[in-house]
Amino acid sequence: MKKNLVFLGAPGAGKGTIAALLIKDSPLVHISTGDIFRSEIKNKTELGTKAKSFIDSGALVPDELVVDMVVSRLQCEDCNSGYILDGFPRTVPQAELLDKALMKMNKPLDAVIFFNAKDEVLLERLTARITCKECGVNFNKLFSPPKKDGVCDMCNGVLYQRSDDSLETAKNRLVVYKEQTEPVIGYYKGPMLKEIDAEPATDINYNALKKAIEL
């Protein structure tokens, strides 16, 4: 099977859900930059301390530093059996830096999976979460709707949409994705890039993915 993987696709495409299924069926390690940031900062490593100083001042963490943190994670022994980079690289400069580092480590990528879905499908998924005003429990209009419209199953509280789940926020996330990350797909264009239709149900996507990576 192909073992050093990148998962690309817009927010809402389901990369994380598929990655969670794949790590149960394979020895691959699921790597998200968010997790790496949190652990480097928590452990007060040199890289983590640097990253924190950018975050605290409200600045973006520079590409070099992001890639250094990912590469330091890829050097851990568990990654020898393969890895999934979930939503990384996020920009073309990150992709270039990653390529250079992987070449040095002699651990090149085996496949880049692009999860493709139309904007309307992505927006529907990104705005599907509704939250109870009383007890804070989450429902999903698509996958786990409440029994009664607008009413919490647990406490009969009123359900509402948090501002980070609003249509406006979702649209903004897609704009940022198109500007910064979509060009990364062009960067990887070639035999290594495998496109998967991310619109059907999760089990269908997952089977398509298993085929693409020869699992």
For residue 10, how far is the Cα from the chain centroid? 8
Instruction: Identify whether 90 is a catalytic site residue.
Output: yes
Residue 154 in contact with Zn ion, rule: CB under 5 A: yes
User: What is the 8-class DSSP label of residue 82?
Assistant: -
Residue 103 in contact with Zn ion, rule: CB under 5 A: no
Instruction: Identify whether 73 is a catalytic site residue.
Output: no
Instruction: Identify whether 173 is a catalytic site residue.
Output: yes
Q: Is residue 65 within 8 Å of 47, Cβ to Cβ?
A: yes
Looking at the chain, which runs of residues are DSSP E strands? Answer: 4-9, 29-32, 83-86, 111-116, 129-132, 138-140, 159-160, 193-197
- In terms of C-beta density within 10 A (0-12 exposed, 13-18 middle, 19 or more buried), how is residue 88 classed? buried
Residue 134 in contact with Zn ion, rule: CB under 5 A: yes
Cβ closest to Zn ion, residue 1 vs residue 135 = 135
At 128, is the secondary structure helix, strand, or coil?
coil
**Distance (Å, whole) CA 43 – CA 40:** 5
Cβ closest to Zn ion, residue 20 vs residue 154 = 154
Cβ closest to Zn ion, residue 152 vs residue 170 = 152
Residue 135 in contact with Zn ion, rule: CB under 5 A: yes
Residue 157 in contact with Zn ion, rule: CB under 5 A: yes
Please pick, from the candidates 10, 132, 170, 213, the single residue that binds Zn ion as defined by CB under 5 A: 132
Cβ closest to Zn ion, residue 20 vs residue 158 = 158
Alpha helices in 57-201 (DSSP H): 63-74, 92-105, 119-126, 167-176, 182-187
Cα separation of the two ends of the chain: 5
Using the contact rule CB under 5 A, the part of the chain among 30-38, 70-78, 126-134, 186-194 near Zn ion is 126-134
Instruction: Identify whether 125 is a catalytic site residue.
Output: no
Please pick, from the candidates 69, 152, 184, 213, the single residue that binds Zn ion as defined by CB under 5 A: 152
Instruction: Identify whether 15 is a catalytic site residue.
Output: yes
- Interface residues with Zn ion (CB under 5 A) are 132, 134-135, 152, 154-155, 157
Q: Which residues are part of the catalytic machinery?
A: 15, 90, 129, 162, 173
